[in-house]
Amino acid sequence: MIEVGDDGPVERVQVTDWKNFNWDEFRDLSKEAPQTLLDQWSEKAPDVESMNTMLCDTLLSLVKKLSHTKSVCRHSKPWFTKELAEQLRLQGTLREPVHN
């Protein structure tokens, strides 16, 4: 069976915009996090799994605090950058028209 026509609604999902993530601020804030956790652990030493969970949760909360999300769909091209779009536009303007 062959269907011709619209694929239906495009499903969009929200993802972290890593390309525009503020890595400098993350580095600065994440320097404090281990010391804070060590202070908590020195008062009451949790088991290793709990320590791992606490560390992951701390770093994930920093990411959520500093990151932005973007909407993507199955047609999104994450490799397609602003620079590439500009170069393709420039290439299109430089092409010589085809004469028959």
The answer to whether residue 51 is domain-embedded is yes
The answer to whether residue 23 is domain-embedded is yes
The answer to whether residue 8 is domain-embedded is no
Per-residue model confidence (pLDDT) at position 97: 66
**Which residues span the domain enclosing 87?**
14-94
Of 87, 64, 62, 69, nearest to 20 (Cα)? 69
H or E element in which residue 13 lies: strand 12-16
The answer to whether residue 6 is domain-embedded is no
The answer to whether residue 26 is domain-embedded is yes
The answer to whether residue 79 is domain-embedded is yes
Domains in the chain: how many in total? 1
- CB distance 68 to 18 below 8 Å: no
- CB distance 55 to 37 below 8 Å: yes
74: CB partners within 8 A, 6+ apart? 10, 11
- Global confidence as pTM: 0.56
Q: What is the mean pLDDT of each run of 10 residues along the chain (100 residues)?
A: 67 84 91 88 90 92 90 71 82 72
The answer to whether residue 62 is domain-embedded is yes
The answer to whether residue 83 is domain-embedded is yes
- The 8-class DSSP code of residue 79 comes to T
